[in-house]
Amino acid sequence: MKCLRFAIFSLGGIAIGVLSAQAQQIPDLTVGNYKVQFHAFASQGYAYTNDNNWLTMNTSDGSAAMTDFGVNATVQLNDKLRIGAQFYDRNIGHLGQWSPEFDWGFADYRVKDWLGFRGGKVKTVLGLYNDTQDLDFLHTFAFLPQSVYPTDLRDSTIAHTGGDVYGTISAKKAGSFAYTLYAGHREDSPYGGYPYYLKDVGIDFSSYGGLQYGTDLRWNTPVAGLTVGASGMKENITGTGTSTIFGPPTPYAEHSKNDTTDQFYGEYVHGNLRLDTEYRRYLRDQDIFNNAGDIYTDTRGWYGAAAYRISKRFELGGYYSRFTSAYTTNIFGSTGASLDTSIPGNHIFDKVLCVRFDATSFWNVKLEGHFMNGNDSTGEYPDGFYNGVNPNGFKPNTIAFVARTGVNF
């Protein structure tokens, strides 16, 4: 049955690929004096785990509930002004639930190479891949390192409604510097990982979001192919909804006291070889239960990844991803803590191998193995493993097999 299901999705992928091939021939649409570029992508995945259901899917039975797609249009109105928008939808286990969202849409006005402005809903620049994390076809891997780019928590960083100031400054023989400053409002989907995590304990959010501001600075060094950078983000988030933890539904609210993300990264590309590494620390200090308590979470993640394109069609890659989580709580005068990140409940260490096959320039297939130790099950902020789909508890180790195919034009 599982093989049949995967075969059906593979055939579906081929069909989409063929349609995509047709779409490649579609020229820009001319509207008045303007040329409008249309692009789209879609991916379908299948995941199987030997133990522990992963990413809200029933992966221990094998799950093909891993689909996403997006479509966008962009038009350059004049030399300096460009506008565009993209819609995105996903269904990954309990995440997304086919609830389409306005992914990005903004006006981009570039005054000079060193000074540009974006206004609207903008993908947030944070590290190497935050703004492209949904775009499976850009990456070697079926899943980016979950320690830094958790698929279930993409809403928390993916975009802000507000504005960016950006630019690139040449430093002559020292290379160039690209900067982005941003501020705006983040609004999470009700079908993200954190709302799903809290629903299991009796908290149902009606809204979750708030101010997000930060900066990214990356140095394109004079060493060919070497880029290093740093990003920082502060947030002031409020979640409101209802709680049934103590019986009948009562209003519930939580908000940030301090919410800080720092990220450092480096990438080196030489010929067909790509190496990259990133470190992210997310400090999350929240007032919870309508200011009756406080929870302080310190999550840290890093990874080292390598990928090598062995031919036009094949690419091999692997990464080691390491995530730890520790917390202290003070709720209704009762304190608690879980600070030992060596226990499986407070970490996820993931070794990954992947092979990517590019059937055409617009259709790829990936096969990937994850060898995970830990599940972050005792942490107070999720990362991939949830009680809701693991009602019988967690095993310390998980082996996952992922197949994913994607098209784009």
Q: Name residues contacting other proteins, limited to 86-105 (CB under 8 A).
A: 86, 104-105
Query: Of 19, 21, 178, 181, which lies in the binding site for other proteins, with binding defined by CB under 8 A?
Result: 178
What is the helix (H) or strand (E) element at residue 275, kind and residue range? strand 273-288
Query: Of 309, 316, 329, 387, which lies in the binding site for other proteins, with binding defined by CB under 8 A?
Result: 309
Query: Of 82, 234, 281, 395, which lies in the binding site for other proteins, with binding defined by CB under 8 A?
Result: 82
Our finding on whether 202 is near other proteins (CB under 8 A) is no
CA–CA separation, 144 and 92 (whole Å)? 15
User: Distances from the Cα of 283 to the Cαs of 147, 299, 301, 340, 366, in angstroms?
Assistant: 14, 6, 12, 16, 34
Shortest distance, position 180 Cβ to other proteins, whole Å: 10
Residue with smaller CB distance to other proteins, 182 or 194: 182
Residue with smaller CB distance to other proteins, 271 or 333: 271
What is the separation of C-alpha 46 from the centre of its chain, rounded to a whole number of angstroms? 18
Binding letters toward other proteins, positions 139-168, x by CB under 8 A: -----------------------------x
Distance between terminal CA atoms of the chain? 32
CB atoms within 10 A of CB 379: 25
**What is the bridge-based pairing of β-strands 101-112 and 115-123?**
antiparallel
**Are the CB atoms for 154 and 382 separated by under 8 Å?**
no
Shortest distance, position 105 Cβ to other proteins, whole Å: 8
| Token pair for 295 | 């929870």
Our finding on whether 361 is near other proteins (CB under 8 A) is yes
Our finding on whether 31 is near other proteins (CB under 8 A) is no
Binding residues for other proteins, how many (CB under 8 A)?
44
Query: Of 122, 153, 237, 326, which lies in the binding site for other proteins, with binding defined by CB under 8 A?
Result: 122
Task: Reduce the DSSP state of residue 339 to 3 states and report it.
Answer: coil
CA–CA separation, 17 and 11 (whole Å)? 10
| Token pair for 266 | 């480096």
Our finding on whether 408 is near other proteins (CB under 8 A) is yes
Query: Of 10, 58, 67, 72, which lies in the binding site for other proteins, with binding defined by CB under 8 A?
Result: 72
Query: Of 10, 58, 67, 132, which lies in the binding site for other proteins, with binding defined by CB under 8 A?
Result: 132
**Are the CB atoms for 99 and 191 separated by under 8 Å?**
yes
| Token pair for 368 | 């990937």
Part in contact with other proteins (CB under 8 A); list of ranges 90-98, 205-213, 217-225, 326-334: 217-225
- Burial annotation 296-330 (CB, 10 A radius, 16+ → b, else e): bbbbbbbbebbbebeeeeebebbbbbbbbbbbbbe
| Binding site residues, other proteins, CB under 8 A | 37, 39, 41, 70, 72, 74, 76, 79-80, 82, 84-86, 104-106, 108, 110, 112-113, 122-123, 131-132, 135, 137-138, 168, 170, 173, 176, 178, 222-225, 269, 271-272, 309, 312, 358, 361, 408
